[in-house]
Amino acid sequence: MTLRRSDDPLDTYLLRIFVLLITERSVSRTALRMNQSQPAVSAALKRLREILGDPLLVREKGGMVPTERALALMSHAKGALAEIDRMVDGPESFEPHTTRHEFRVGAPDYLAPVFVAGVAERFRREAPQARLTLHALGPNFDFERSLAEGDLDVVIGNWPEPPHRMHLSMLLEDEIVCLVAASHPCARKGMTTEDYMRAAHVVPMPYSISQRGVIDGVLASMRINREERVVVQSFTAAPYLLQGTDLVFTTTRHFAQFYANLLPLAIIPSPIVFPAMRFYQLWHERNHHSPGHRWLRRLLSDSGRQIVPVAA
């Protein structure tokens, strides 16, 4: 039997449009990511609605929201695209210098800026046509599902107990220190455990609701309760709140050093003995043997090894 075009209406282009539309919930943002015009994406949405017999996206007060059928079809569409990509990207087809692939990495905002800068520099040098997207992680972000469904290629984190269901390797480890204003009394005389317990602390909101971070875990095991006087949404906001205050921020040395070079801040050794904070990269079995993915993991590992220890 001869297969006519009308017998196979849902092509790869429409599948990619569908996935992005349901993810972005916006025609304009989908058009931007696809490098298409808005009318072209609107036409694709109209065609998808005709083929699938469903509005897919409906307008609500807060914007566009997907229908139940759209959400039900999402995993099938992602799976189909993943299979197509695996067919097209043969074992010898990946070439960093010419690839236009988008690599997606989930990472917390407390990663050492020098590490992120090193990754970006090497990525641009080795894969100038490719795209690197860094996704922020949060307490409600299901990173394991995102890895399994292909929304992310790699997730970087510092889990006290890394998930055992995924592949992982260590990227770097860093000392935990205290960051304070340059005018803080402890900046000159140092800090004792009693000073730490009496101090007013600035702390970020937790990244995981399922387990404590390294710092909170150690303090809990020692039955030390910090005076958490300021809570911030982002790690990167905390250093800016220290200037001219008596606040103390407990963080990694490379992170602290970056901001101490920018602002009137001082780094002091932590009076609490914390283990080194270890950062891992985590990935799913679906990408384990992909040549492009192996290249990305090697790039991240090499960037971690190039981090020079900061003198105390």
Region 182-191: mean pLDDT is 97
Residue 94 backbone zone (phi > 0: left; psi -120 to 50: alpha; other: beta): beta
Measured CA to CA, the distance from residue 195 to residue 16 in angstroms comes to 56
For residue 82, the model assigns a pLDDT of 76
Residues shown for the chain: 312
pLDDT for residue 90 is more than 70: no
The separation between the first and the last C-alpha atoms of the chain, rounded to the nearest angstrom, is: 75
Q: How far apart are CA 156 and CA 297, in angstroms?
A: 11
Of the candidates 254, 248, 287, 291, which has an alpha carbon nearest to the alpha carbon of residue 270?
248
What is the percent of the chain where pLDDT is above 70? Answer: 91
The order of strands in the sheet holding 167-174 is 131-136, 102-107, 154-157, 277-283, 167-174
Give the single-character DSSP code of 121.
H
Do 259 and 83 meet the contact criterion of CB atoms below 8 Å apart? no
Look at residue 161 in the predicted model and tell me its pLDDT.
Answer: 78
Distance CA 292, CA 298 (A): 10
Say what percent of the chain tops pLDDT 90. Answer: 67
Mean pLDDT (whole number) for 114-119: 95
Q: What is the token pair recorded at 170?
A: 């260590």
Eight-class DSSP state of 89: S
> What percentage of the chain's residues is helix, strand, coil (to nearest 5)?
45, 20, 35
pLDDT at 268 (0 to 100) = 97
Highest mean pLDDT among 1-5, 67-71, 72-76, 157-161: 67-71
pLDDT per position as a tens digit, 55-86: 999 998 878 999 999 999 998 898 888 777 76
CA quadruple 90, 96, 101, 102: dihedral, nearest 10: 130
